[in-house]
Amino acid sequence: MPGDDTYQRLIALFDTTQTPYRLIDHAPDGTTESVSALRGHPASHAAKCIILRIKTDRRTTRHVLAVIPGDRRVDLDAVRTLFKARYVGFSDAATAERLARSVPGTVLPFTFDSDLELVADPEVVERPQLYFNAARLNRSVAISGADYARLAQPRIEPIAGPAPGEPHRTTSP
C-alpha cells in the first residue's frame, strides 16, 4: 500500500525526535467530519490536508500542501495572493497521491517530497491537540500543534476560509 512507507516514516519521525503522540485506531474513514466524530473531537481540531496546483505563470506550476482546520475550506483567493499566482486549483488525484505518498483521505500535514510546499493556517499550529489520519484510513494520530509546527516547519499563513457562522475575511492584494 502506498501509505505504509509514509506511515512508518511518520512514526519514525515522532520516535527519533521523542515527540509525544497518541495513535487512535478507528473504523476506516477519510472524511474529516466523520473521522473526527469517530475520534471524539470537534472537526475544528483536525488537520484537513489539501494538495493544490498553483500556476505562477504560463510555464511554472507548483504544488502546495495546504493544512487548515477541519471545519474550514481552503481560501483559494488567499493562496493565490500568497503565491502571486495566476491560477490555484485542486491537484488531480494521481498527482496528489504521488506527492503525498498516500491515498486521498489519508494525506498527512507533513511533506516528505521536495516538490510539495507546505503551508499551514495559524489556527492549526495553535491547537493544543491536533488530529489527522496517519497515512491510513483506520488509524489517526494526535500531537500538539506546537510539536507539529516544530517538526513539519510549515510556512504559516492565513489560508483557511471563515469558520462556520463567521463572515468571509478579505485578503489584501
Specify if 164 maps to a domain.
Answer: no
Whether 140 is in a domain gets the answer yes
153-168 burial by CB neighbour count: b if 16+ within 10 A, else e? ebebbebbbeeeeeee
Angstrom distance (rounded) from CA 54 to CA 81 = 11
Q: What is the pTM of this model?
A: 0.92
Q: Give domain status of residue 65, yes or no.
A: yes
The mean predicted confidence, pLDDT, of the chain is 93
- The answer to whether position 75 is within a domain reads yes
In three-state form (DSSP H/G/I as H, E/B as E, the rest C), the secondary structure along the chain is CHHHHHHHHHHHHHHHCCCCCEEEECCCCCCHHHHHHHHCCCHHHEEEEEEEEEECCCCCEEEEEEEEECCCCECHHHHHHHCCCCEEEECCHHHHHHHHCCCCCCCCCCCCCCCEEEEECHHHHCCCCEEEEEEECCEEEEECHHHHHHHHCCEECCCECCCCCCCCCCCCC
Can you give the CATH number for the domain in which 91 is found?
A: 3.90.960.10
Express each pLDDT in 98-145 by its tens digit: 999 998 889 999 999 999 999 999 999 999 999 999 999 999 999 999
Q: Evaluate whether residue 59 is within a structural domain.
A: yes
Provide the domain limits for residue 86.
2-156
Lowest average pLDDT, out of 59-63, 112-116, 154-158, 169-173, goes to 169-173
Identify whether 170 is part of a domain. Answer: no
Q: Does residue 135 form part of some domain?
A: yes
Residue 166, in any domain of the structure: no
| Structural domain count of the chain | 1
